[in-house]
């Protein structure tokens, strides 16, 4: 009996984070046949994690890998060979929290499954068509031309998934919608989509730019950074560590980077928790309003990501402060049954702008993109 073509069989999806590893085997209809999650970053034990998953799963005919940054030369989701692997090594410097763990997991998977095609699926691809005005920084030409300084955008796999699920919910084509997609999780971003294309987004050259995040600062006046370096002698490594690991909700509250903890602490009178949530939701409102300026109208505001999906207080506070865009508070809180589906309305009755929650879907999108690459040929 012949094996099915790689695009028609089961697909192993590998999603490696800076402090986690998510593995899943998906059937051709998109259902999850097996999964394994770890709260440890990829490393020496990753091959063991893969073997443990594959021992209880259908044999995959292909593997898809989520990679945050494609680097300056890879412009599409692509099969991985040794040349592509070298390109990804160069991209690691642009996203040092995310790409090195993804490469460790990629290498382990290629070692365990050397006879199946491996496909790299990039978060940056969704934003490849950013218009010049949204893509370019106002910096010297040789920075842009020689050093490649430009805005890449991230969370693209999440955006693609959320856009399609929203279109299905609204009964419209994704290519006719104008929406703002808000991914709120460990990293946070807002993206404006017009006619199926990203036209503005808050993350830029790295995933550090934009709104305040769980442990990342988001945008900070560059003058403050150079001032810290010249006045107080902070090294680039100290600055990078502080902005990526000790800022955001954690830096503001001093206690937690988890909005659930902070909502609870605020209710008990913790002023720093309240301030952290105020900064966070204000940052999100400012991001939504900023990217919405690239649209002609707003057909929906879409929340996804762990916080966007699970934290109704954050959604409420964001929408209640965006009356200028036709949004308002009074959102409904979806139950577990609602969130088990692909998307759900949470806006108040009669709201002129639908508010939609889409459960996080990078795994499903990596599966879909992997199959599309394999169907397109070698």
- Residues labelled as active-site residues: 123
Residue 279: which of 244, 254, 306 has the closest Cα? 254
| Cα–Cα distance for residue pair 234/320, rounded to 1 Å | 39
Give SS3 for 85: helix
Whether residue 110 contacts residue 118, with contact meaning beta carbons closer than 8 Å, is answered with yes
In the numeric block, which tokens belong to residue 196? 């199926």
- Tokens 């496909």: give the residue: 119
The torsion angles phi and psi of 272, rounded to 5 degrees, stand at -70, -35
Whether residue 167 contacts residue 354, with contact meaning beta carbons closer than 8 Å, is answered with no
Whether residue 181 contacts residue 193, with contact meaning beta carbons closer than 8 Å, is answered with yes
Whether residue 284 contacts residue 318, with contact meaning beta carbons closer than 8 Å, is answered with yes
Residue 202: which of 291, 125, 133 has the closest Cα? 291
Whether residue 233 contacts residue 225, with contact meaning beta carbons closer than 8 Å, is answered with no
| Cα–Cα distance for residue pair 214/307, rounded to 1 Å | 10
In the numeric block, which tokens belong to residue 42? 């990829």
Give SS3 for 231: helix
Whether residue 11 contacts residue 371, with contact meaning beta carbons closer than 8 Å, is answered with yes
In the numeric block, which tokens belong to residue 310? 């699970």
Q: How many residues does the chain have?
A: 378
In the numeric block, which tokens belong to residue 79? 């099969």
Give SS3 for 180: strand
Whether residue 231 contacts residue 160, with contact meaning beta carbons closer than 8 Å, is answered with no
Residues 6+ apart with CB under 8 A from 180: 190, 191, 192, 193, 288, 291, 292, 295, 298, 300, 301, 302
């Amino acid at each position: 009996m012949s094996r099915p073509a790689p695009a028609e069989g089961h697909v192993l999806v590998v999603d490696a984070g800076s402090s986690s590893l998510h593995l899943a085997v998906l059937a051709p209809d998109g259902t999850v046949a097996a999964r394994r999650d770890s709260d440890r970053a990829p490393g020496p034990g990753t091959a063991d994690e893969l073997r443990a998953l594959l021992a209880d799963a259908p044999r995959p005919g292909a593997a898809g890998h989520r990679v945050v940054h494609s680097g300056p030369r890879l412009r599409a989701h692509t099969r991985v060979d040794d040349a592509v692997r070298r390109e990804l090594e160069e991209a690691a410097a642009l996203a040092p929290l995310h790409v090195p763990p993804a490469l460790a997991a990629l290498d382990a998977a290629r070692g365990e499954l050397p006879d199946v095609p491996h496909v790299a699926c990039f978060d940056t691809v969704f934003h490849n068509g950013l218009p010049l005005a949204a893509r370019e920084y106002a910096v010297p030409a040789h920075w842009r031309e020689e050093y490649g300084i430009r805005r890449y955008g991230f969370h693209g796999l999440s955006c693609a998934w959320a856009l399609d699920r929203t279109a299905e919910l609204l009964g419209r084509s994704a290519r006719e919608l104008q929406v703002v997609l808000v991914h709120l999780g460990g990293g946070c971003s807002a993206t404006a989509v017009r006619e199926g294309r990203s036209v503005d987004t808050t993350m830029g050259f790295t995933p550090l730019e934009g709104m305040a995040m769980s442990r990342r600062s988001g945008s900070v006046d560059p003058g403050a950074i150079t001032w810290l370096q010249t006045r107080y002698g902070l090294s680039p490594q100290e600055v990078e560590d502080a902005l990526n690991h000790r800022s955001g909700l954690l830096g503001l509250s001093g206690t937690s980077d988890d909005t659930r903890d902070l909502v609870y602490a605020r209710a008990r009178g913790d002023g720093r928790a309240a301030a952290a949530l105020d900064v966070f939701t204000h940052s999100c409102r400012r991001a939504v309003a900023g990217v919405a300026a690239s649209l002609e109208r707003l057909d929906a505001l879409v929340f996804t990501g762990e916080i966007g999906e699970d934290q109704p207080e954050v959604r409420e506070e964001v929408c209640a402060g965006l009356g200028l865009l036709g949004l308002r508070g009074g959102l409904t809180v979806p139950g577990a049954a609602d969130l088990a589906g692909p998307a759900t309305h949470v806006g108040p009755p009669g709201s002129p702008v639908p508010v939609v929650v889409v459960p996080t879907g990078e795994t499903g999108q990596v599966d879909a993109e992997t199959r599309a690459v394999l169907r397109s040929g070698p």
